[in-house]
Structure 1
Amino acid sequence: MIYPNNFEVKIGFNKIRQLLSAKCLSPLGEEKVSNLAFSSDFSFIQSELSQTEEFIRIIQEEDNFPTNYFIDVRHSLKSIRIEGTWIDESALFDLRRSLQTIRDIVSFLKKEEEENTPYPHLYALAGEIAVFPQLLSQIDHILDKFGKIKDNASPELSRIRREITHVSSGISKSLNSILRSAQSEGLVEKDVTPTMRDGRLVIPVAPAFKRRIKGIVHDESASGKTVFIEPAEVVEANNRIRELESEERREIIKILISFTDTLRPLVPDILQSYEFLATIDFIRAKASLSIDLGAIRPIIEDKQIIRWYRAKHPLLFISHRKQNKEIVPLDIELEGENRLLIISGPNAGGKSVCLKTVGLLQYMVQCGIPIPIDERSVVGIFDNIFIDIGDEQSIENDLSTYSSHLTNMKFFVRNCDKKTILLIDEFGGGTEPQIGGAIAESLLKRFNEKEAFGVITTHYQNLKHFANENKGVINGAMLYDRHLMQPLFTLSIGNPGSSFAIEIARKIGLPEDVIADASDIVGSDYINMDKYLQDIVRDKRYWETKRQNIRQKEKRLEEITENYETDLISIEKQRKEILRQAKSEAERILSEANAKIENTIRTIREAQAEKEKTKLARQNLSEFKEGLNTETEIDDKIARKIQKLKDKEKNKKQKNKATEKRQEVKITIGDNVRMKGQNSIGEVLDIQKGNAIVAFGMIKSTVKLESLEYVSRNQVKKETKVTTVNAISSDNIRDKKLNFKQDIDVRGMRGDEALQAVMYFIDDAILVGMSRVRILHGTGTGALRQIIRDYLRTVPGVSNYQDEHVQFGGAGITVIDLE
């Protein structure tokens, strides 16, 4: 149910209709737009949105979807239902072109098999739509490509048109002969040609010579300077042409009547096909408008919920875009115990825009239209939307603005329920503040008791207090920059807002004594309360900005770290390549040296104690050695580096063997141990059923034996310095344990932000010895839940994770058991 009757005007939906109609290709689609209606049928809404979503993809990805000839011929089809009537030539041409469009659309949507189609919802819409190929063939036999009746549409028509051509040719010859003769006698100008008057060929002649040419005068020009004469020689031929033309018209009507008799029984099925064409035009218009607005098919749940991120008012978005201005998007959540949102804040701060945004987008989506909203958002379904906004003063009904508001409130109280969303602007306004505020609070109490949802704007302090003290109702504020004295148009949920009345009055130059008197009148409690609200808003903005800056710096740090890791990998590759080249060069030098020595030995043997040759061979070998020493000086450093690498690898192997040996040692009470992969050394206090109670400094933890490794006393001495550092930080750990919260909420974060927060949270939980923690990530598309669980699967300290019990959040919360 929608209330009141002018609901669409109040939220601006009538303008959305106009935008949709402008996108339609024909009256067929425009008629669908005019019949567009609000629905609370979940399946219907899902289907409408799915069809539009698929058409958005068609517009963005396909080039050959048929968009020509969306022509409405339903009136012509309905007019031939009576026997003896016929469809005229132009309507028949429109029928042919539009039926071809329907055929092309169905062919496009069914070009793939049903199980492979990329557009399943549009495929289903095409269903069993008839495309009438035989009817199209019959029309093609009658009409040419320009929509005119073909000569061969019937044998008789062919004969008539041949005779018309023959007679017309004879008339032309006769006229040209008469015209040449008249021109030679000077009766007619040289550049004159035969023309047509009343369907008869005539010759233009000056009035002075009209009696010189025998024939019938049919007409004269407006100036009277020309008369049009039909020569007597062609009168009979022209009469014959007129007769033949009458015969032609009768034959064409006969052809059309015959075709219409074939067409008439098919009219109901053809009208059904035109209903399909209208629907396609309508869906296409919705898709085109959605692209203009940046709208999407949101996640829809068949329950009452509003969890919107970066929602935009469509009309405001279009208006701002024309002015090259940015719109401030809306983040809003209404669900669970926060159903009724009371928005306060300064005038012209965006309260009414926020309310209208909620009303318009909720109405649009329940009409099957995509909305401009972030893809993480979740949209619910409401049976009723009630709105009370603007000046409803009525002279005819003798109602004041306040009386009109109360009339609406009476309807709201009687008809609202937990499937209703209320949109009330300036709740309680229009009358004396004290009684107006009291009545508004009483109404709000009943709305809350009926578990209705709503967005309500107000300036009344008592409503802010009510929201703060009652479950189901929550405060919200439109933020305001108190330094620049201008609205930020941003909704902040959780705290009430200040009206900034004193500050605004001071800004516009109201005398200070007036402001001081006003402050005295309302009292210090009110002034202090208003300042308190301003301080809350200021502090929240400050910490939100700090949080954003920290996120940006963390992201930058991650990028720098990634770059360093990439550089290290590159350096490692270069190092390996240098070592490979050095090794290759060393092998070459060694091979050359061996060859030289062997050659020297062979020379000495062959010399057989010839002193001169032996001495020469030894001298050559000595020179080679000196050269070899000179060459290898540069490679000494490389050789030393290679040796260091070998020593390092050797030490690493020895360390691994020592570790394996320690792991083989059976751990007993009093032993020094540490968790595998960790540095902190603790002492085993007790062992029970495969678990050990280990004291790490001041913290005791229960750890599985298989995750511990033995540490010798010598090793403990070596790591005394590390132990000292750990002891120093134990106070910090104790403080962290006292302040540690076992739940973390990452809803609304991007994937990388949520993962970073979860990593810190799990590390802290393991550090302080928590046995169980919870992560609130929401349901949504499930992407955030999957990212978090993929990470948990890699953490050694996580023994188990699962969905929370359905009564406490179900799949929207992951419960983690830690070792």
Structure 2
Amino acid sequence: MIYPDNFESKIGFDKIRQLTAAKCLSSLGEEKVEEMLFSPSYPIIIEQLSQTAEFIRIIQEEDDFPSNYFIDVRPALRSIHVQGTWIDETALFDLRRSLQTIRDIVAFLKKEEDENSPYPHLQALAGDIAVFPQLIRQIDHILDKFGRIKDNASSELNRIRREMHNTSSGISKSLNAILRSAQSEGLVEKDVTPTMRDGRLVIPVAPAFKRKIRGIVHDESASGKTVFIEPAEVVEANNRIRELEGEERREIVRILVAFTDELRPLAPEVVQSYEFLAEIDFIRAKALFALDIGAIKPTVEDKQIVRWYYAKHPLLYLSHRKQQKEIVPLDIELEDNKRLLIISGPNAGGKSVCLKTVGLLQYMLQCGMLIPVDERSIVGIFDKLFLDIGDEQSIENDLSTYSSHLTNMKFFVRNCDRKTILLIDEFGGGTEPQIGGAIAESLLVRFNEKGAFGVITTHYQNLKHYANEHEGVVNGAMLYDRHLMQPLFKLSIGNPGSSFAIEIARKIGLPEDVIADASEIVGSDYINMDKYLQDIVRDKRYWEEKRQNIRKKEKRLEEITATYEDDLLSVEKQRKEIIRQAKAEAEQLLSEANAKIENTIRTIKETQADKEKTRHARQELSDFRSELNDKDVQLPGKLANKINKVKKHSKKESIKEPTKKIIEIGDNVRIKGQTSIGEVMDIQRTNAVVAFGMIKSTVKLDTLEYVSKSQTKKEMKAVPVSASVSDDMRAKKLNFKQDIDVRGMRGEEALQAVMYFIDDAILVGMSRVRILHGTGTGALRQIIRDYLKTVPAVSHFADEHVQFGGAGITVVDL
């Protein structure tokens, strides 16, 4: 129950309706906004709030919600209930587009399974809404995408329009021929073209020549300088066009009547679907308005309670935002033992705004609208909202303000109960203070006895005393800065407020003797009591600020503690990661060291105690260990022992080798780092002539290494490799290119490049490679092929296919 009848206008809800309606897409939603009603039903309120909250999520998170063509075609649907009537093209086009929108919305809301739907309340609203795909298909057969009747909507219409087109084309040709003839005779200007008058094609002619062209004069320009003649040759054709237009219209009506006959039985269901569209438009508008004012869906309990934090008056908030001003939010609590709040304080201190905020937000919520409060807030449900505010003087009924106030009080006393919230401004005002205060106190007693909730503003001291002494009633004060002499618009519950009458009078400059006389009249007790109230409010404000500061510091301390704990966890995590990485690096290092040792041992064995090679291997191992020491790495015991063992072994082997082997003519040698073995044919100072098979090549002596006969026999045997070598091989294989281009190189240079290339190919396990040497004189080709004959790993070589290079390329199979 809402009292009085103009409740909405008094608390500003009429303005809320206007702002919400402005966000609707159509009259469908606007009607729903106007029909919005206060409800005491907890399930209904929860359903409406949930729908709006879900739509806020859609607005914030979805980009593809269908919001086009919210068109109200219900009037057109209602107009076709009589047999023989039809829906016109415009309404039919609107029907098609809006039906598609309904279908898209239902599909959007049902795209997830029920249990997984992010919008369960909106999905339930979509429920069993019919979407009429068959009607959409039928309309698509009749209308094109621009809403015009299609030529093929029926075979008869297609015939009529085809004849109209042919006839019009004939008229145009005839008119153009007549016009050219008239232009050549000078009867018509050169830039004149046929025009339309009364639906007929005509030629503009100067009045002086109108007798020169045989036909019917249809019109004359406003200046009288042009007449419009329909030549006799096209009169019949134009008449035929008129007949065809009539036939066309009759056929279109027949098509629309036929469609309407199929639509008519479905009209009630279609109208119901438009009710769904209206509901979606309405919910969307509420969601947009909620976003505008920062509203949320608070915790709602099915009982009588007001526990609000940071509540804002929506209209005041919007007004202040325009002016770039901050609004002071309201914290208020009304519960069983503190149901009736008596707010006192100076005029213009915000008492009425506080009362209106409570009334408006409670009303909005029970109309299914989200409200601007903090998420910690708890909102209850009331069956009745009673309001007494403002000047109710009525000239017609000869009622004074006080009489009107008492009339409202009579209604409140008779009808209030535990599910009622009373909103009374200036309780007991409008009459002589003593009797007014007494009646107000008597009414307050009854409100309290009936268990009503309420927010009541007053200046009467006796009401403050009553609130202080009786359970169920609590004092509240609108805070005031007595130093700056300005209101703070902040509600403090627990103590009454002072009117600050003496201070305000002194501030505006009332003579001091007047203030002194007034103080003497009311007596020192009253003045002292008012002063004590001010002191209490001041002290409470001081300690409240202290408490707030302590809360902030505690919160900050909690945040810092949480940050430190997070940092400690992060450091511990990093420590573990560093240890893990160190272990991994140590394992890698161990693997590399093992590989190095294995290679050193193999080198020593393969060289058969060659002193120089042994010395070189030992030096490499020593360098490797130095490198490890430079990295400040502690070698594992097993690894250190292994290296020492290698050193001892290499030392022993070096003792076996009495002298360094000097390369001589007839020795088997190979280029350092290569596998191909050749024989030294001649030595010339620092160079040696080495025969690799049939090929002789001059090579620097310091690039050669001695190969024993026993080692030569073992050369082609496979040697196992370590993990690190395997990794290198894999990388080398990935990067190996199967073609080499030696065109333009000198013989020796080309031969060395091919040797390296073939060695690498064998190393990575290639089965076939290609050598591009060109044709030229054939010398380079011959040198390369002579070398290939000496390589045991080469199984076959030949010219490339003629299509891919022929004799200029040698294909080698390995």
TM-score (norm 2): 0.71
The alpha-carbon deviation at position 379 of structure 1 amounts to 0.8
Secondary structure of the 1:115 match is helix
Distance 1:237 1:129, change over 3 A: same
- Structure 2 match to 1:338: 338
Structure 2 Cα separation of the partners of residues 124 and 285 of structure 1: 19
Counterpart residue number, 1:237: 237
Does 158-167 or 572-581 show the bigger shift? 572-581
Distance change (3 Å), C-alpha of 1:598 and 1:136: closer
Aligned-residue Cα RMSD (Å) equals 2.7
Q: Are 1:75 and 2:75 counterparts? A: yes
CA distance in 1, matches of 2:569, 2:32: 63
Deviation at 1:599, TM superposition (A): 8.6
Q: Distance in 2 between matches of 1:597 and 1:270?
A: 96
Map 1:275-674; keep pairs closer than 5 Å.
275-558=275-558, 585=632, 587-588=634-635
SS of the residue aligned with 1:140?
A: helix
Distance in structure 1 (CA, Å) of the matches to 2:195 and 2:647: 119
Structure 2 residue 92 is matched with structure 1 residue 92: yes
What is residue 255 of structure 1 aligned with on the other side?
Answer: 255
| Alpha carbons of structure 1 residues 168 and 598: separation in structure 2 relative to 1, 3 Å | closer
Question: C-alpha offsets along residues 296-332 of structure 1, whole Å, 9 cap, x if unaligned?
Answer: 1111111111111111101111111111111111111
Residue 674 of structure 1: aligned partner? none
**Distance (Å, rounded) in 1 between the aligned partners of 2:569 and 2:127:** 58
User: Hey, what does 1:204 align to over in structure 2?
Assistant: 204
Task: Give the Å deviation of 1:122.
Answer: 1.0
In the TM superposition, 1:1-80 aligns within 5 A as 1-80=1-80
2:141 is aligned with 1:141: yes
Q: Does the residue aligned with 1:97 lie in a helix, a strand or coil?
A: helix
Alignment partners' CA distance in 2, 1:65 and 1:599: 79
Partner Cα separation in structure 2 for residue 559 and residue 451 of structure 1: 43
Cα deviation, residue 539, structure 1: 1.0
Amino acid at match of 1:60: Q
Cα shift readout 1:414-463 (whole Å, capped 9, x = no counterpart): 11111111000000000010000000000000111111111000000000
Segments of structure 2 that go 5 or more residues without pairing to the other structure are 587-627, 656-814
- Cα distance in 2 for partners of 1:71, 1:503 equals 61
Equivalent residue of 1:18, what SS? helix
Deviation for aligned residue 1:552: 3.1
Instruction: Indicate how the Cα distance of structure 1 residues 290 and 560 shifts in structure 2: closer, same or farther if over 3 A, else same.
Output: closer
Distance in 1 of aligned mates of 2:570 and 2:474? 56
Equivalent in the alignment of 1:173:
173
Judged with a 3 Å threshold, the aligned counterparts in structure 2 of structure 1 residues 306 and 554 are, in CA distance, closer, same or farther, namely closer
Pairwise CA distance, 1:592: 7.6
Structure 1 position 132 matched with structure 2 position 132: yes
Task: Write the mapping of 1:155-174 to structure 2, written as runs, cut at 5 A.
Answer: 155-174=155-174
Cα displacement (A) at 1:559: 5.1
Corresponding residue of 2:702: none
1: distance between equivalents of 2:262 and 2:641?
106
**Post-superposition CA distance 1:581-634 (Å, at most 9, x none):** 99995845999899899999x999x99xxxxxxxxxxxxxxxxxxxxxxxxxxx
Deviation string for 1:695-723 (max 9, x for gaps)?
A: xxxxxxxxxxxxxxxxxxxxxxxxxxxxx
The CA deviation at 1:547 is 2.0
Inter-partner Cα distance in structure 2 for 1:30 and 1:598? 95
2-side partners of 1:139 and 1:310: how far apart? 53
Find the residue that maps to 2:474 and give its secondary structure: strand
C-alpha distance in 2 between matches for 1:446 and 1:527: 30
| Count of residue correspondences | 606
Counterpart amino acid of residue 110 in structure 2: K
| Distance in structure 2 (CA, Å) of the matches to 1:215 and 1:579 | 107
| Per-residue deviation, residues 721-778 of structure 1 (Å, max 9, x unmatched) | xxxxxxxxxxxxxxxxxxxxxxxxxxxxxxxxxxxxxxxxxxxxxxxxxxxxxxxxxx
Say which SS state the counterpart of residue 430 (structure 1) adopts.
coil
Q: Tell me the amino acid that sits aligned with residue 297 of structure 1.
A: K
Distance 2:645 2:172 in 1: 119
For residues 280 and 32 of structure 2, the distance between their equivalents in structure 1, rounded to whole angstroms, comes to 10
SS at match of 1:69: coil
Compared CA separation, residues 294 and 567, structure 1 to 2 (3 A): closer
Match for residue 195 of structure 1? 195
Write the letter of the residue equivalent to 1:281: D
The one-letter amino acid of 2:226's match is T
Distance 1:452 1:589 in 2: 85
Q: Provide the C-alpha distance between the structure 2 equivalents of 1:277 and 1:595, rounded to a whole number of angstroms.
A: 85
**1:541 deviation in Å?**
1.4
Deviation at 1:545, TM superposition (A): 1.6
Q: What is the CA–CA distance in structure 2 between the aligned matches of 1:85 and 1:277, rounded to whole Å?
A: 25
Please report how far the alpha carbon of residue 135 of structure 1 lies from its aligned counterpart in structure 2 after TM superposition. Answer: 0.9
Q: How many Å separate the matches in 2 of 1:567 and 1:263?
A: 70
User: In 2, Cα distance between the equivalents of 1:20 and 1:603?
Assistant: 97
What residue ranges of structure 1 are gaps of 5+ in the alignment?
608-819
Distance, in Å, in 1 between the alignment partners of 2:270 and 2:100 is 12
- The one-letter amino acid of 1:436's match is G
Letter in 2 for 1:532: Y
Q: Residue 294 of structure 1 aligns to which amino acid in structure 2?
A: G
The within-5 A match list for 1:662-741 is none
Question: What secondary structure does 2:123 align onto?
Answer: helix
User: Kindly tell me: are residues 533 and 220 of structure 1, through their superposed partners in 2, closer, same or farther at Cα, counting changes over 3 Å?
Assistant: same
Q: Which amino acid aligns with 1:252?
A: I
1:550 Cα deviation (Å)?
Answer: 2.4
Distance 1:39 1:322 in 2: 32
Q: String of CA shifts for 1:660-684, please: whole Å, max 9, x gaps.
A: xxxxxxxxxxxxxxxxxxxxxxxxx
- Name the amino acid aligned to 2:545: T
Mapped to 1, the partners of 2:634 and 2:396 lie a distance apart of 109
State the match for 2:685 in structure 1: none
| Cα drift, residue 281 of structure 1 | 0.7
Report deviation, 1:117. Answer: 1.2
TM-score (norm 1): 0.71
Change (3 A) 1:176 1:500: same
Instruction: Return the offset for 1:567.
Output: 7.2
C-alpha distance after superposition, 1:330-372 (max 9, x if no partner):
1111111100000000101000000000000111111111111
Q: Residue 221 of structure 1 aligns with which residue?
A: 221
SS at match of 1:82: coil
For residues 366-403 of structure 1, give each alpha carbon's deviation from its aligned partner in whole angstroms, at most 9, with x where no partner exists: 11111111111111111111100000000000000001
- Which amino acid in the other structure matches residue 485 of structure 1? M
Residue identity in the other structure for 2:429: G
Q: 1:579 to 1:164 in 2, by over 3 A?
A: closer
Give the distance between the partners of 2:505 and 2:393, measured in 1 at CA: 29
Instruction: Give the secondary structure class of the aligned counterpart of 1:213.
Output: coil
Question: 1:165/1:41 Cα in 2 relative to 1: closer, same or farther (>3 Å)?
Answer: same
